[in-house]
């Protein structure tokens, strides 16, 4: 869990720096910085669930590993349906 916390800390600092760039740097560099910040905000929670699922699977906690995999599947289906709609 400490490694996951460290990863989240890095994502937090990166998102903050990129957000400042997106808010205050003019032109395409600022826009790219803002988009990168949004990408981090979208990807981080999914990575967290993936990390937990893998961790549970490795430790033999099969029931919750399956639930984690199920959640990732639901999220993927939801995103696809929303895009198609």
Partner 1 sequence: MNPVELAIAAFITAGIGALGGLGGAILLVPVLVLSGVSARDAAPLGLISVAAGSLAAAPHQLRAHVVNHRLGVSTEIISSIAALGGALASGVIGQSVLAVMLGVVALVAAFFGARRKGIRNLPDPSLTTSDVGEHRGSLSGVYQLDEGEFVAYRARRVPSGLLGMASAGLIAGLSGVSGGFIKTPTTSEVMQVPVKVAAATTTFTVGITSAVALLVYEAQGRIVVSDAALVAAAALVGGTLGVRLQAALPPPLVRKSLSAVLLVIGTLLIVKNL
Per the CB < 8 A criterion, the answer to whether 38 and 23 are in contact is no
Find the shortest distance in angstroms from Cβ 69 to partner 1: 10
Return the residue matching tokens 């937990």: 52
| Residue 50 neighbours by CB under 8 Å, 6+ apart | 68, 72
Find the shortest distance in angstroms from Cβ 41 to partner 1: 4
Find the shortest distance in angstroms from Cβ 65 to partner 1: 10
Per the CB < 8 A criterion, the answer to whether 64 and 54 are in contact is no
User: Interface residues with partner 1 (CB under 8 A)?
Assistant: 1-2, 4-6, 8-9, 11-12, 15-16, 18-23, 30-31, 33-35, 37-38, 40-46, 48-49, 52-53, 56, 59, 61, 63-64, 67-68, 70-71, 74-75, 77-79, 81-83, 85
**Cα–Cα dist 14/24, whole Å:** 15
């Amino acid at each position: 869990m400490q490694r996951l916390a460290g990863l989240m800390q890095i994502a937090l600092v990166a998102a903050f720096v990129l957000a400042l760039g997106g808010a205050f740097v003019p032109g395409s560099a600022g826009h790219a910085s803002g988009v990168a910040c949004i990408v981090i905000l979208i990807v981080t929670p999914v990575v967290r669930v993936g990390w937990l699922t893998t961790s549970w699977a490795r430790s033999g906690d099969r029931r919750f590993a399956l639930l984690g995999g199920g959640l990732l599947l639901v999220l993927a289906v939801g995103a696809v349906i929303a895009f198609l709609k």
